[in-house]
Amino acid sequence: MIHIHNHHAMATIFQVRLAGEEATYAAQAARALFDEADRLEGWLSRFKASSDISAIARLQPGETLRLNEATCECLALAREMELATEGTFSITAAARQTQPEPPQWTLDPGQRLIRCEAGRLEFDLGAIGKGFALDRMALELADWECPAFLLVAGGSSILAGEPPAGIPGWSVGLGEDNSEPRQWLKKGSLSGSGVAVKGHHILDPRTGEPAKLRDRAWAMSPSAAVSDALSTAFMVLTEPEINRIMRGRNEWQAFLNDDGKWRQLDPGGQLAFGGLAPETMSGERASGNLP
């Protein structure tokens, strides 16, 4: 029995699927996870006036703000992903449309302080916040001891735990509903970005121009925040660039759709993290660690 619960947060629908649990316990666990998503939205949403992100946007150059722990960690991870993707994932990509130069900021994680160095810090966590929320929800779920779970944020990021009993993974399609071929996923995250819903809305932070290399891209990682950010970067990066940033990152995988069907990139043939496996395969290929 798989219990499915839905909740509105971060301008989309979050879904918690729990397998093998008693119904009331599953509902209460789902509520605890949704409360965590709401709490995070309160800190991370640029649409909530009392959020940290809104407060950051009001900082003048030279001003400092002490952040909530979650905000600080999310921003630190965002900066890390910006470096790892050679600037193709950036939470200030949209700010390039309203400011001549990218805003500058420094973060002191030890003190949880952010300082506005230049410009207006108009952060948009839309390409990492939902994944970050899934990671935090999984941490909360660990207390509830529900090992078989699938967490979904808006259909674009999923984070899987153990699969339901009797199957090797959660059945995943890359693309439209029930798209073939299906893949098994366990203990890992998959995120997708594309142009089907919002058109060419993803901007290349390096140029400020919309990314038009491909229609869709997916990323896998043990962390949903990381896969969320990577899938956006993979819409911007060329294939050689993707291969370059993934080199030595065996926990990351890329899937691209630029000719009507998806294919997996294989940067060096080292797929140690095989969270996705074709449904036709038997046995446990999936592995990896949750954040």
Stretch that binds other proteins, among 23-31, 76-84, 169-177, 191-199 (CB under 8 A): 23-31
Asked if residue 165 lies in contact with residue 20, where contact means CB atoms within 8 angstroms, the answer is yes
Residue 15 CB, nearest approach to other proteins (Å): 15
Q: Is 13 a binder of other proteins (CB under 8 A)?
A: no
Stretch that binds other proteins, among 84-92, 140-148, 219-227, 277-285 (CB under 8 A): 140-148
Q: Is 290 a binder of other proteins (CB under 8 A)?
A: no
DSSP 212-269: -S-SEEEEEESSHHHHHHHHHHHHHS-HHHHHHHHTT-TT-EEEEESSSSEEE--SSS
Asked if residue 221 lies in contact with residue 230, where contact means CB atoms within 8 angstroms, the answer is yes
Asked if residue 286 lies in contact with residue 276, where contact means CB atoms within 8 angstroms, the answer is yes
Q: Which amino acid is at 1?
A: M
Beta strand 262-264 pairing with 209-210: unpaired
Q: Which of 32, 107, 281, 290 binds other proteins (CB under 8 A)?
A: 32
Q: Is 27 a binder of other proteins (CB under 8 A)?
A: yes
- Per-residue contact flags (x/-) with other proteins for residues 201 to 240, judged by CB under 8 A: ----------------------------------------
Q: Which of 6, 64, 106, 207 binds other proteins (CB under 8 A)?
A: 64
Q: Is 2 a binder of other proteins (CB under 8 A)?
A: no
Tokens for 186, please give them.
């366990």
Length of the chain, in residues: 291
DSSP state of 90: -
Q: Is 117 a binder of other proteins (CB under 8 A)?
A: no
The residues binding other proteins (CB under 8 A) are 5, 8, 24-25, 27-32, 34-35, 47-50, 55, 58-59, 62-66, 68-69, 110, 112-113, 143-145
